[in-house]
Structure 1
Amino acid sequence: MPEDARGRLVSDPFEYRVTKDRKVLVSRGGRLVVTVSGAAAERLATGIEAAEAAGDATAVQHLPARATGNYRRGNEKRATR
């Protein structure tokens, strides 16, 4: 997995919760970012569980980050007001 160049995944990590019906709720900063369901949720939950078992903290953060899509790429421009 690529490194987090700006260190954002360390200072502001993703949190996730797998529900009984195998949906994955991904949040960051206390706010729900995305709910993943179906086959994608099963792949995400399996990947997270495997990364946790291997002790790979970087992968545990990269998997939910990728599941969110275009979330905080770093190329957003600030509003000028």
Structure 2
Amino acid sequence: MSAPSGFSYTRRSDGTVLIVHRGRAAATLRGARAAKFLDEIAAGDEQLVMARWTGSYKFGNERQARRHPRNQGR
């Protein structure tokens, strides 16, 4: 499984945090959620934290799902 990439974030003057994934807005955090996010960013891998907060991360079952009969031919 590859590490998440393509994420960035911007802190605005009003305390809002905007998370962007590959040029598109993925999440907007305000208040206590924004503060908690910034604490996690300071303590860990930024890309992984942003992927978790936006829900854009792999769950580990992609290879198994690829072999499922309904996904054949995709």
Same fold (TM over 0.5): yes
Q: How does the TM-score come out when normalised to structure 2?
A: 0.66
| Percent identity of paired positions between Structure 1 and Structure 2 | 31
| Structure label with greater radius of gyration | 2
Q: Is the 8 A contact 1:23 1:35 kept in 2?
A: yes
Superposition CA RMSD, Å:
2.5
Residue in 1 aligned with 2:53? 67
Mapped partners of 1:72, 1:47: distance in 2 = 16
Mapped partners of 2:32, 2:58: distance in 1 = 25
Residue in 1 aligned with 2:6? 13
Q: Which runs of 4+ in 1 moved over 4 A?
A: 74-78
Q: How does the TM-score come out when normalised to structure 1?
A: 0.61
Mapped partners of 2:6, 2:57: distance in 1 = 12
Runs of 5+ consecutive residues of structure 2 not aligned to the other structure: none
